[in-house]
Structure 1
Amino acid sequence: MSDTLFHNISLFGPTLEVPDSYNVRFFHGDAREGVIQLADLRTIRLELRWRTQRKAGAAVLDLAKRLEKKHGITAQRVGDAYVFDAEKLRAVLTAADGRVLELHWPLACEHRNRTQAAFLASLPGLAEPHWRWQVYGIDARVPRRYALAEWQMLPGRTTLHFADTHWLSRLRNTNRVSVGTFSMAERLLARKNLTDFAIDMLKPPKAASKPAAWQPAGEAAVTTSFRALHRVMFASHHTLTVTHDKAANRIYFEHRIEQRKR
């Protein structure tokens, strides 16, 4: 029985369940087109590429046929996916949500079946109104119309900032979500409690009301809220929750900003 620990990485919908030794080596793109590479300390172990394309299903079929001809191998059908399992090519090709998705293993991997199963099982969720985002302790559901505006993906400090793409939200700078994690929580909380850490982390914007008192939100979490005024009729309502995950030795925060009438 393997003692390998696993973690999930979910970006723009698909989920990759991979060993804990895999870290994000490279990431670029958006919901329409992108690539993510995962590597351990030795080399790249996994790569996921996606692109939006008309008639994505037909494009996947055409790509599978070209790869079969190029490498002289036959793909196995697993549902709607084409699976290549040979030394020349280890890959899964499929279409979902109007996108062509390609999952590649440059080298043989004993955990491939587990990663492949989680990946294929996550694809029906791409059509849902909210996508699940998971990376380095982050686990949040964000409306799919929100764009990933900024990010930092490091094992010790990870942040994802999302913004509503609707023009009115962009104009008023509202309807945003920020989530993140800090590793080595024991050291960060050695000389302060979670509430003090949250107070130091929170930086209210200009024209913001005074944050309400921090309140317990479960066994190891605190939360607060405040308003920031915008123009004549609208204000943004901020809710910030900070959680200490003792088992993972991480601090997790979630900051949601919603537009409301004053």
Structure 2
Amino acid sequence: MATRDGDSATARLLREDERARIARDLRAMATRKLDGDASAHGRRVALVPLGTYNEDPCVVVTVSEDMMRRGRACALPSAAVEEWTLLESASVATTSAAKRAKEALFGKDDKTVVEMLGATHDVLDVRGRTVVTPVLAYMGEIGEKVRGRSDVAAISLSTLMSLDGVAPDAKNGGVRFIGTLAAAGLEGYEAAALHAALRVVAGPRLEYKEALYDQFVAGYKRRAPPAPPGAKPSTPEDDRATG
């Protein structure tokens, strides 16, 4: 679960002014849209639920039994796009599906006012052969909604946006995220959707560049952490004396 860390850099990421900036960036993006073709079985919206857990910014994921992995797995809440909503507009269809995904997360009776921030690039769920539109939404303080539940988890952005939280998936050529203490992490289209979302959340902040961009470039080598202020660099003589 996320824990309060008011002094961390991520504590500022979901403030009101930052949410306004995220929404502007999403509207200004040349968002990549995938057409439903013969390989796609309909469309779905994957909600990227952002909120705070005791003031610590986080992403909320579902946790369920995964018989294939013989354990528990994380997922983004999602809902199919209903064809009749497409008769009005694509935005109406997307918003409708996002609201139903939120209901799947917190229940139909939940009164949480959701601030829809916008959609990012479509991704393809290869396994389900479905085009998925990720939608970022802010849900405010969600501590009371997830505390004590085993079917949802709030993962801190300070974890997700660190080098140890997000990493290239060497096997599948994509991206993967660590999971919670109780479940395996995100992979496949859900990891790609969350990765794209976090890039928008981070914006131009260079402190997240290595975790969200650099390590996915061919030839990347992880840099050693900077030495504490005033620390004396070690020398071969020092190493022999302590070795």
TM-score by length of 1: 0.23
Larger helix fraction of residues: 2
Q: Which of 1 and 2 has higher RCO (CA within 8 Å, sep 6+)? A: 2
Work out which of the two has the higher radius of gyration on C-alpha atoms and give 1 or 2. 1
TM-score by length of 2: 0.24
Larger strand fraction of residues: 1
